[in-house]
Structure 1
Amino acid sequence: MRAPGILDLALFWFICPLAAPVRICAFNAQRFGETKMAKITIRNTIVQILTRCDICLLQEVQDARGRAIPALMKELNRVHGSEVFAHISSAALGRKSYQEKYVFVYRSDRAEVTDSYQYEDNHPEKPDVFAREPFIVRFHLPTTAVKDLVLVPQHTSPQDAVKEIDALYDVFQAVKERWKPKGIMLLGDFNADCDYVAKKRWPQIRLRVEPSLTWLIGDEVDTTVRANTNCAYDRIVIYGEKLAREIVLGSARAYDFPQSLGLSEAEALEVSDHYPVEVQLNSVQLGKNGQNHLLVPTTLILLLTASLGLGLLTQSFL
C-alpha cells in the first residue's frame, strides 16, 4: 500500500476542516471587584485565564458600583484587538449584606445568548434553599454539534452545600421543562468536597444519583490553589446524550494557572484560591450556506494528521 502524498493531505484537510474546540470554564475569582482590577499583575493574570475560554462563568463578583466588569471587558477586548468579548450578568444575589453576581464572559464570535432567567426559590410554595440562586443562561453555539446549550451556575454556601447541590436537581428539572434543550451544563463552585460534603452524603444528593447526569470533574480532582489542600470544590455536570458525545476526550479538568503562568503560590492566591475548571466541545466548520461540514473530533484529526505525516516521512526514505 502506497504512503499518502501531498494530494492526500490536501484532500483530507478539505474534507475535514479543523475548527477549534469550544472551551467552557467556571472560575471562582474570589471577591473580584475594583480592587483586583486596579492591581496590574492580578488583572493581567485574570485576563490570561479568561482569554483561554470561549465562555467563562465568573463567580464571587462583587462589583457594587458596576465598574469592575466594564473595565475587565475593556481590557479583554484591548488584549484581543477587537470587540469580541461580551458578558451577561445576574443582579447581586445574597440574603444579607454579603452579595455576589454570576457573570458569564463569552466570545461573541463563538457563542450567542438567546435567553436567560433568574431562578427563584423564595416564594411561599418553595423554601428558600439557595443563598445565591442560579442565573440561567441559554447559549447558541454555531460551531458545535450541540447548538442549544443551557448553562446553570451555582456557587453554594459552604455550610449548606449538601442541601444546595441536592436542590440543583429541582433547577435541572425546571430548565428541562421550560426550554427542553438538548444539552444542559451545571457548573461552578459547589463546595462539593472535604468539610462541606462528606462521602457518606453523596447517596442522598439527587443531582449525584440521577443516571442521566454525568459529573465531568471527579472527586479526586484538586480544584484548590493551596498546596496543603486537596478538595474537589468546583464541578461541571452535564445532561444530554448529544452533549456527552461531543466532549473532547480528556478536556474536563482543573486549570493549574499558577504552573501554566509561572506564578508562586503566594502570587496565585492574590488572584484566587480556586483553579478554574473547564471542558471542551468538539467543533464543526460552517460552510458559506451556514451548513455544517463533516464533523470530525479534534483528537481524531490530530491522530490522522500524525499518521499521514508519518506516511510522508516514510515515503521520503524509500
Structure 2
Amino acid sequence: MRLFRIFLILFVFLGIRLSAESIKLCSFNIQIFGVSKMAKPEVVSILIDIISRSDVIAVQEVRSRGIAPVVQFMHLLPPKYAYVLGPREGRSGSKEQYWVIYDATKLQLLGETTWADPEDIFERNPLGVYFQTQDKFDFILIDNHIQPSNAAQEISAMPGVVKYFQELWDERDVVIVGDFNADGVYYDEDLLTAVFPEQEYQIIITNDYDTTLAASDNTYDRIIITTSAVEDYTGACGVIRFDEVYDFSALTIQPRHVSDHYPVWAEFNIGVDTD
C-alpha cells in the first residue's frame, strides 16, 4: 500500500509537469534584413526553419526601406504567425526596425508602442509589445538593439524603459530581449548585474554564452526578465548554433550569410502566472 501511494504521488506530480504548456521565446539579430537577404533562397529557408520553431520571435536589424521583404517573409511562414513592425529608428541614414513575430493561435496582442525616449538616449528606441496567452501568462516584451558606441548609457537607461512599459500597461512581467552589445570592446559584461540586480531581475542569457559567429567569445545578445516573471520561466534556455544545426557543406552559402549573431531563446510556462 505504501509503495502504491508513493507511485500515485509521483504519477500525479509528473502528470502535472508533463501537462504544463509552455511557449518558446526567441531573439534574433538577423543582420541587415532586407531585399538582398530575401534574394538568397537558402538563407531564407534556414531563417524560416529557425523562426518556425518558436512562438514569439523578436527580430533586430530590419534595414529595408520598404515593407515588402517583411511581407514576403511572413507569407512563407505558417499562416498562424502574425507580426508587429516598429517604426524605422536611427539618427543616421542607416535606420532599423524592430520586428516581432508571434503565433496568433497561442498569443493575443494587447498593445504595442515605441519608447518615446524624451532625453534622446537611444539610437533606436526600444519597442514594447504586450501579449497574453490563452491561459494565464501575460507579459511585456521589450525588443532592443543597443548602439555599440553608446552601450553603457543605453543599457543603464533600460530599467527606466521597463518601468515606463510596466506603468503603461499595468503589468509587472517583462521580458527584455535583443542585441545588447553587452560584451567585448563595447561593454564590461560584469557591470550588467549592477544595472539589472538580482532582487529585481534575472539574467537568463548570462555571460558564459557565446552569441556570435565571431572567433571571439562574446555575449552580445541577452534575455532578461523581471523577478515577477521568474515563476513563469521553465529554466530552459540556450543559443541556436545554426552553423552546427544545418549542413552548410551541402549549400552554396556560409553561416555568415544567415547572420553574424546566433538566436537566443528561453521557455515560459503559460499556466502558472499569479499576477
Output the TM-score relative to the length of structure 1: 0.77
The whole-number CA distance in structure 2 between the counterparts of 1:199 and 1:20 is 33
1:169/1:206 contact within 8 Å kept: no
The 5 A counterparts of 1:147-226 are: 147-199=137-189, 202=191, 207-209=195-197, 211-226=199-214
Secondary structure of the corresponding residue to residue 23 of structure 1:
strand
In the alignment of these two chains, the number of paired residues is 266
The whole-number CA distance in structure 2 between the counterparts of 1:159 and 1:186 is 20
Quote the residue 2:110 is aligned against. 114
The whole-number CA distance in structure 2 between the counterparts of 1:262 and 1:168 is 38
* Matching residue's letter, 1:91: P
* Matching residue's letter, 2:166: K
CA shift, 1:206, in A, is 5.4
What are the ranges of 5 or more consecutive residues in structure 2 without an aligned counterpart? none
* Matching residue's letter, 2:195: L
- Structure number, greater radius of gyration: 1
Quote the residue 1:288 is aligned against. none
Change over 3 Å in CA distance of 1:207–1:175 after alignment to 2: farther
2:27/2:177 contact within 8 Å kept: yes
The whole-number CA distance in structure 2 between the counterparts of 1:43 and 1:86 is 18
Which residue of 239, 249, 265 corresponds with 1:254? 239
Change over 3 Å in CA distance of 1:84–1:240 after alignment to 2: same
Q: Provide, for residues 237-289 of structure 1, a one-character-per-residue CA deviation record: whole Å limited to 9, x for no partner.
A: 10143x2022112x12211122122336x7211000101111001244xxxxx
What are the ranges of 5 or more consecutive residues in structure 1 without an aligned counterpart? 78-82, 285-294, 296-318
The whole-number CA distance in structure 1 between the counterparts of 2:139 and 2:254 is 35
The 5 A counterparts of 1:1-318 are: 16=16, 18=19, 20-77=21-78, 83-121=79-117, 126-143=118-135, 145=136, 147-199=137-189, 202=191, 207-209=195-197, 211-226=199-214, 228-241=215-228, 243-249=229-235, 251-263=236-248, 267-284=254-271
The whole-number CA distance in structure 2 between the counterparts of 1:3 and 1:258 is 49
Secondary structure of the corresponding residue to residue 35 of structure 1:
helix
2:182/2:189 contact within 8 Å kept: no
CA shift, 1:3, in A, is 8.1
Which protein is richer in strand relative to its size?
2
Q: Which runs of 4+ in 1 moved over 6 A?
A: none
The whole-number CA distance in structure 1 between the counterparts of 2:81 and 2:189 is 39
